[in-house]
Structure 1
Amino acid sequence: MKIKDIDHITLSVKDIEKSMRFYHEVLDLPVVIETESRIEFQLGHQRLVCVTANDDNVKPAHPTPGSTSFSVVVRDPLSSIQSHLANYFVPIIAGPLESQGHNGKMNSLFINDPDKNLIEIREYQR
């Protein structure tokens, strides 16, 4: 088997409306599909899917809100991101921190979504 890419990431969430507001309004992700128990956002070439316990699709054995961690790469400088997050009253858990990423040196901020999933926001140094 030769895996080519990741198609989507699915998050178990408690409140689909809170998740929609956070990912669409705060993180500016476009909504692609929205139902009562599921919402899909465009995230680069992939999708970020949020589902509640009521979603009828195939699920993990123990879907748990707040158990996921993922990272996104931004084009904007982290200083602008910090201001943007402050405008939405989203606390920064850690950062900016410098580390080595897949494509070189980077700086990161860490935040939580409404279900306490951990999101790393990365800016590669130029």
Structure 2
Amino acid sequence: MISHIDHIVLTVADVEQSVRFYEDVLGMEAVTFSNGRRAVKFGNQKINFHTAGQELRNHALEGSGDLCLISDWKVEEITAHLQAKQVSILEGPVEKTGATSTIISVYFNDPDNNLIEVSVRSESI
């Protein structure tokens, strides 16, 4: 029935600050879509951003997101990049169980305290 995730939505305090963070730290592409909404795109997926209370169907609060993103970089490159961007690493590299394989993960927070996990599949190490 379900083949993949098209997009997710994060509730944030400052949409433009979030767009800049995901562009600068994670190399995603900023996009604007219907009625001036903002998002970042990577591959065939995107992350939409909205301010708390903007979306009446969603009752999420800032910082309630928890994402795992797969990278094609080596885990050492990821940690060095995060350190160069002055992003505090909360945990990792550490071995975890991903959707399709064992992964090596590094955890950090975005500006709204959403938990971001950037991972490398262990077979690609």
Tell me the TM-score range normalised by the shorter chain: 0.7 to 0.9
TM-score by length of 1: 0.86
Instruction: Label 1:99 to 1:54 Cα distance change in 2 as closer, same or farther (>3 A).
Output: closer
Q: Which residue of 2 aligns with 1:73?
A: 70
Where do 5+ consecutive residues of structure 2 fail to align?
none
Q: Secondary structure at the match of 2:31?
A: strand
Q: How many residues align?
A: 123
Q: Deviations over 1:72-95 (max 9, x none)?
A: 000001111111111111001111
Per the normalisation by structure 2, the TM-score is: 0.87
Gaps of 5+ in 1: none
What is the Cα deviation at residue 35 of structure 1? Answer: 8.6
Query: Alignment partner of 2:89: what SS?
Result: coil
Identity of aligned residues (%): 34
- Tell me which residue corresponds to 1:98: 95
Aligned match of 1:50: 49
- Any conservation in 2 of the 1:37–1:51 contact (CA below 8 Å)? no
Q: C-alpha deviations, 1:23-56, integer Å up to 9, x for none?
A: 011111011216997311113211101111364x
Structure with more helix by fraction: 2
Counterpart of 1:108 (choices 105, 120, 123) is: 105
After the TM superposition, list the runs of 4 or more consecutive aligned residues in structure 1 that deviate by more than 3 angstroms: 34-38
CA root-mean-square deviation: 2.1
In 2, Cα distance between equivalents of 1:53 and 1:101: 30
Change beyond 3 A, Cα 1:92–1:54: same
